[in-house]
Amino acid sequence: MSKMTMRLVYVATPYSGLRGVSEINRPFLARKIAKNACEMVKKAGYMPISPVLAFSEIFDEQKDREHALKAGLELLSHCSYAYFYDLHPDSHLSEGMKKEREYARELGITELDLDGGFGF
């Protein structure tokens, strides 16, 4: 019997880079984007894991931004792949996503390129 890997994919999506969104609505929109991105990864046959979904109830993005980012990078270091959700127009503004991409490249983690119709 052969053992298959989980093909765990770190799903990077914008949070603080979302513009034109109130601080009250930011967590809701960030989770919605993360869920959509994870659905794309899942449909492609991988196991998604999102720091936004995993840590949004644990860290206060305003007070604990650095801790949240460190936790996300630790999570990233345990993944086989990374997916950077660039379909949202604010993704390119996300400093967190930039740091995640740089770290994934340092670690030699393969970046997935998924096409999909989940744009906002």
| Cα distance between residue 11 and residue 112, in whole Å | 10
pTM for this predicted structure: 0.87
Specify the pLDDT at position 90. Answer: 84
Backbone angles phi, psi at 109, to 5 degrees: -80, 130
Please say whether the beta carbons of 100 and 73 come within 8 A: yes
Specify the pLDDT at position 111. Answer: 94
| Cα distance between residue 64 and residue 72, in whole Å | 12
| Cα distance between residue 1 and residue 57, in whole Å | 39
Specify the pLDDT at position 5. Answer: 57
Digit-coded pLDDT (tens) for 53-100: 999 888 877 788 888 899 999 999 999 999 999 888 888 878 999 999
Which has the closest alpha carbon to 53: 22, 81, 80, 85? Answer: 85
Domain boundaries, the chain: 8-112
8-112, CATH topology level: Rossmann fold (3.40.50)
Specify the pLDDT at position 119. Answer: 41
Specify the pLDDT at position 6. Answer: 63
Mean pLDDT value across residues 15-30: 88
